Protein backbone atom coordinates (compact mmCIF):
# COMPACT_ATOMS: atom_id res chain seq x y z
CA UNK A 1 0.00 0.00 0.00
CA UNK A 2 1.23 3.46 -0.85
CA UNK A 3 -0.22 6.73 0.34
CA UNK A 4 0.46 10.38 -0.30
CA UNK A 5 -0.88 12.42 2.61
CA UNK A 6 -1.53 16.14 2.27
CA UNK A 7 -2.68 18.35 5.11
CA UNK A 8 -5.53 20.55 3.87
CA UNK A 9 -7.82 23.34 5.08
CA UNK A 10 -10.48 21.93 2.77
CA UNK A 11 -10.61 19.50 -0.15
CA UNK A 12 -13.18 18.03 -2.50
CA UNK A 13 -13.52 15.54 -5.34
CA UNK A 14 -15.64 16.64 -8.29
CA UNK A 15 -16.64 14.28 -11.10
CA UNK A 16 -18.57 15.65 -14.07
CA UNK A 17 -19.42 18.85 -12.15
CA UNK A 18 -20.84 16.88 -9.19
CA UNK A 19 -19.13 16.86 -5.79
CA UNK A 20 -18.59 13.27 -4.65
CA UNK A 21 -16.70 14.02 -1.45
CA UNK A 22 -15.55 17.01 0.53
CA UNK A 23 -13.97 17.82 3.87
CA UNK A 24 -12.87 20.78 5.92
CA UNK A 25 -9.56 20.65 7.80
CA UNK A 26 -7.85 17.28 7.61
CA UNK A 27 -5.96 15.05 5.20
CA UNK A 28 -6.38 14.41 1.53
CA UNK A 29 -4.99 10.90 1.06
CA UNK A 30 -4.12 9.52 -2.37
CA UNK A 31 -4.12 5.75 -1.82
CA UNK A 32 -2.69 3.03 -4.04
CA UNK A 33 -3.52 -0.58 -3.18
CA UNK A 34 -1.36 -3.36 -4.60
CA UNK A 35 -2.17 -7.01 -5.24
CA UNK A 36 -0.22 -8.24 -2.21
CA UNK A 37 -1.72 -5.77 0.28
CA UNK A 38 -3.69 -7.24 3.18
CA UNK A 39 -6.21 -6.02 5.73
CA UNK A 40 -3.44 -6.04 8.33
CA UNK A 41 -1.35 -3.68 6.20
CA UNK A 42 -4.32 -1.36 5.69
CA UNK A 43 -5.05 -1.21 9.43
CA UNK A 44 -1.42 -0.31 10.20
CA UNK A 45 -1.34 2.37 7.50
CA UNK A 46 -4.65 3.88 8.64
CA UNK A 47 -3.39 4.00 12.24
CA UNK A 48 -0.14 5.62 11.15
CA UNK A 49 -1.91 8.27 9.04
CA UNK A 50 -4.52 9.10 11.68
CA UNK A 51 -1.88 9.49 14.38
CA UNK A 52 0.55 11.67 12.45
CA UNK A 53 1.23 14.77 14.49
CA UNK A 54 1.44 17.37 11.75
CA UNK A 55 -1.04 20.01 12.88
CA UNK A 56 0.22 23.04 14.79
CA UNK A 57 -0.46 23.50 18.48
CA UNK A 58 -0.79 26.89 20.25
CA UNK A 59 2.99 27.28 20.18
CA UNK A 60 3.03 26.73 16.38
CA UNK A 61 4.76 23.35 16.75
CA UNK A 62 3.61 20.41 14.66
CA UNK A 63 2.35 18.47 17.63
CA UNK A 64 -1.34 17.61 17.10
CA UNK A 65 -2.98 14.64 15.41
CA UNK A 66 -6.02 14.53 13.15
CA UNK A 67 -8.29 13.54 16.05
CA UNK A 68 -6.95 16.29 18.31
CA UNK A 69 -7.95 18.97 15.79
CA UNK A 70 -11.28 17.33 14.91
CA UNK A 71 -10.12 16.81 11.32
CA UNK A 72 -11.46 14.62 8.54
CA UNK A 73 -10.07 12.28 5.89
CA UNK A 74 -10.79 12.35 2.17
CA UNK A 75 -9.31 9.20 0.61
CA UNK A 76 -8.99 9.02 -3.18
CA UNK A 77 -8.00 5.88 -5.06
CA UNK A 78 -4.77 6.50 -6.96
CA UNK A 79 -3.62 3.34 -8.75
CA UNK A 80 -0.86 5.28 -10.50
CA UNK A 81 1.17 5.14 -7.27
CA UNK A 82 2.04 1.61 -8.40
CA UNK A 83 3.01 2.59 -11.94
CA UNK A 84 6.23 1.22 -13.38
CA UNK A 85 7.89 4.38 -14.66
CA UNK A 86 11.16 2.84 -15.82
CA UNK A 87 10.24 3.86 -19.38
CA UNK A 88 8.38 6.81 -20.85
CA UNK A 89 5.15 4.83 -21.03
CA UNK A 90 4.01 3.83 -17.50
CA UNK A 91 2.94 0.23 -16.93
CA UNK A 92 0.44 -1.08 -14.39
CA UNK A 93 1.05 -4.78 -13.86
Catalytic residue among 55, 78, 85, 92: 78
pLDDT grade for 86, boundaries at 50, 70 and 90: confident
Active site residue 92: no
Judge whether 66 lies within some domain.
yes
What total number of domains does the chain contain? 1
Judge whether 39 lies within some domain.
yes
The whole-number pLDDT of residue 90 equals 76
pLDDT grade for 87, boundaries at 50, 70 and 90: confident
Higher per-residue pLDDT: 70 or 85: 70
Judge whether 18 lies within some domain.
yes
Q: 35-84 pLDDT, tens per residue?
A: 899 999 999 999 999 999 999 999 999 999 999 999 999 999 998 888 87
Judge whether 89 lies within some domain.
no
Tell me the three state secondary structure of residue 68: coil
Judge whether 91 lies within some domain.
no
Domain of 71, in residue numbers: 2-81
Helix (H) or strand (E) holding 13: strand 11-15
Q: What is the CATH number of the domain that holds 44?
A: 3.50.80.10
| Residues whose CB is less than 8 angstroms from the CB of residue 20 and which lie 6 or more positions away in sequence, other chains included | 13, 14
Catalytic residue among 6, 22, 68, 80: 80
Catalytic residue among 25, 79, 85, 92: 79
**pTM of the full predicted structure?**
0.86
Amino acid sequence: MRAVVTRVKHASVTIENEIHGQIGQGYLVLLGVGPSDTEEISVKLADKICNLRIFEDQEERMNLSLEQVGGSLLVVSQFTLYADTSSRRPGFS
